[in-house]
Amino acid sequence: MPSTSGYVSLPDQEGTVVPAANAGSVTLRDNGSYSYDYKQGLFTNKYTLLVSLLASIGGLSFGYDQGVIANVLVMPTFFRMKAWETGIMTAVLELGALVGCILAGLFADRMGSRSRSIAAACVAFLVGSVIQAAARSVTHLVIGRGIGGIGVGALSMLSPLYLAEISPPSLRGSLMALEQLAIVSGVVLGFWLGFFTRTIPSSLSWRIPLAVQIIPGVILGLGCIILPPSPRLLVLEGSLDEAQTILARLRGRSTDDPLVKLELLEMQVEATLIRRTTTAESKPNTLIQELKTWAGLFGRKYRRRTWVGVLMMAFQQWSGINALLYYGPTLVRSIGLDGARVTLLVSGGIGIAQLVAVIPAIMFIDKLGRRPLLRSGAIVMGFSHFLVSILISQYGADWHDHSLAAGLSVGLIYVFTLAYGASFGPVAWVLPSEVFPLSMRSRGAALATSSNWANNFFVGLITPTTLERSPAGTFLLFAVFCFVAYLWATYAVPETAGIGLEEMASVFERGEGELEREEAETRRQIEEDVGLWRLVNEESRRGRSAET
């Protein structure tokens, strides 16, 4: 078992690395733990990359909905709406999404296969999209966005969950960060399509961009037919042979590849552990049992993971990213710049900056780890906000005489966005779904994702007011959140890069309590029983003799 004491990141831990039979390696450490690496790059295994890209389309729908609305709302052909109606239009999607991800958490395990849940979410998304594109009144739109939001929210939880379950440990961060790539691609597509159609002199100007989202929804919905089932769920159901075939395919290896066998054995250990220890936990039948299971997320055993997930999403939102996206133009006007070009530069540009920044994150999230990204990101984000706040308080009264300071402020907003786009943006879609064990994963991920939507909603609610009262104060508020996020990432978040999903307990539980010791003991026993250690030892012997 790869063990990390406290918050030491795994990649630092030296061990004896022996080559595996086909390719890749097994690392054995002095403390008796092991890890393995398929040594595959993101592009080596085209099948897994393709499947991941397909699954991440769920994120595209999310970003698109957020990006498209900014332009649609100001189109002259669009419904004349009162301020509160505009507010409802934005909020209803977030509230729908909040409901959607909780529903997905309730039903994901019950529906048996992940692709079935994803397909159901696509149906809600498509129904909502059709209602929006065909809307004859504001009420239709609100209903459409509410129903679509349920699909968007469910997908925002299901796609990362599925990605976590099909990825090899050493590439999991990169593959899961594709979710953020999809989200921000959606933001950019939604924004710019609306920008180009806005001059069409009929309602097509807004119906077209609202209808276009049907395309990715249909692709993902139909794509569910070819999405391979999660090997982890198959193991839990007892379909070992199918799980082995699917896993081998996902890893681009044969079914008798030792690393494939090892990974499968880890899944078996987890499944056996679930069966032995928590029958009611994995399949609660009554409402009381269901509630107990959710409450279990805050019990001694899982609460550290739960807080990591929930706070990860909360800090992502309180970094202020959506305040920049939704209220970008107002914000920029408040720092003395005006005009249509500026609006574009900010709203359209922020999406593009996020898109650019996610690329290095995808490349390095597994090599550098999640924590370094979060910590460095938080510092840069915090200082950018802080400096903007100072500039506003110094020169805010008279920007026209201080155009340099105004330009600098816009530059700093971009610095913030780039730092966010390479850190809290993508990592928030990675950590929450990878930290939980299979028995709690869907509910834990649902809770964390609901924290994303709830906080998104609250930031949206308070920002117009705080901006009106004090733009400098608004930036300062977000700066404070970024600095607190730095402390949190430093002291409360363990490194999860490269660690198998079944091994997360070793990072989160310190093995102190009686219960933890007992469970570690049981786990070890099951590992022996299924032959996991025999395989590890055989591999290391074979690897060593091959080397000499």
Q: Are 240 and 175 in contact (CB under 8 A)?
A: no
Q: What is the smallest separation between the CB atom of 195 and ligand INS, expressed in angstroms?
A: 17
Q: What is the smallest separation between the CB atom of 151 and ligand INS, expressed in angstroms?
A: 16
Q: What is the smallest separation between the CB atom of 429 and ligand INS, expressed in angstroms?
A: 6
How many angstroms separate the CA atoms of 187 and 179, rounded? Answer: 12
Question: Residue 129 or 452: which CB sits closer to ligand INS?
Answer: 452
Binding region for ligand INS (CB under 6 A) out of 15-23, 320-328, 334-342, 376-384:
320-328
How many angstroms separate the CA atoms of 262 and 268, rounded? Answer: 10
CA dihedral of 424, 301, 500, 268, whole degrees rounded to 10: -140
Nearest to 544 by CA among 2, 27, 12: 27
Annotate each residue in 427-446 with x if it binds ligand INS (CB under 6 A) or - if it does not, as one string: -x------------------
Q: What is the smallest separation between the CB atom of 308 and ligand INS, expressed in angstroms?
A: 16
Annotate each residue in 409-428 with x if it binds ligand INS (CB under 6 A) or - if it does not, as one string: ----------------x--x
CA-CA distances (angstroms) from residue 24 to 224, 501, 508? 30, 18, 27
How many angstroms separate the CA atoms of 22 and 254, rounded? Answer: 9
Question: Residue 428 or 476: which CB sits closer to ligand INS?
Answer: 428
Place of tokens 């198959």: 234
Q: What is the smallest separation between the CB atom of 449 and ligand INS, expressed in angstroms?
A: 9
Binding region for ligand INS (CB under 6 A) out of 160-168, 181-189, 224-232, 258-266:
181-189
Q: Is 168 exposed, middle or buried (0-12, 13-18, 19+ CB in 10 A)?
A: buried
Place of tokens 């990592």: 427
Question: Residue 98 or 264: which CB sits closer to ligand INS?
Answer: 98
Kindly state whether residue 262 participates in binding ligand INS, applying the rule CB under 6 A.
no
> Helix (H, G, I), strand (E, B), or coil: what is residue 25?
strand
Binding region for ligand INS (CB under 6 A) out of 291-299, 317-325, 410-418, 443-451:
317-325
Instruction: Tell which one of 48, 180, 197, 293 touches ligand INS (CB under 6 A).
Output: 180
Kindly state whether residue 70 participates in binding ligand INS, applying the rule CB under 6 A.
no
Q: What is the smallest separation between the CB atom of 424 and ligand INS, expressed in angstroms?
A: 8
Question: Residue 71 or 316: which CB sits closer to ligand INS?
Answer: 316
Kindly state whether residue 322 participates in binding ligand INS, applying the rule CB under 6 A.
yes
Q: Which of residues 451-470 bind ligand INS (CB under 6 A)?
A: 452, 456
Kindly state whether residue 187 participates in binding ligand INS, applying the rule CB under 6 A.
yes
The size of the interface with ligand INS (CB under 6 A), counted in residues, is 14
How many angstroms separate the CA atoms of 319 and 478, rounded? Answer: 5
State the amino acid at position 363 in one-letter form.
M
Question: Residue 138 or 352: which CB sits closer to ligand INS?
Answer: 352
Q: Are 539 and 26 in contact (CB under 8 A)?
A: yes
483 Cβ partners below 8 Å, 6+ apart? Answer: 378, 382
How many angstroms separate the CA atoms of 209 and 213, rounded? Answer: 7
Question: Residue 329 or 336: which CB sits closer to ligand INS?
Answer: 329
Question: Residue 4 or 56: which CB sits closer to ligand INS?
Answer: 56
Kindly state whether residue 184 participates in binding ligand INS, applying the rule CB under 6 A.
yes
Question: Which pairs count as long-range contacts for 11-19, CB under 8 Å and 24+ apart, including other chains?
Answer: 11/367, 11/369, 11/495, 11/497, 11/498, 16/540, 18/539, 18/540, 18/542, 18/543, 18/544, 18/546, 18/547, 19/543, 19/546, 19/547
How many angstroms separate the CA atoms of 431 and 370, rounded? Answer: 8
Instruction: Tell which one of 45, 159, 354, 463 touches ligand INS (CB under 6 A).
Output: 354
Binding site for ligand INS (CB under 6 A): 66, 180, 183-184, 187, 316, 321-322, 325, 354, 425, 428, 452, 456
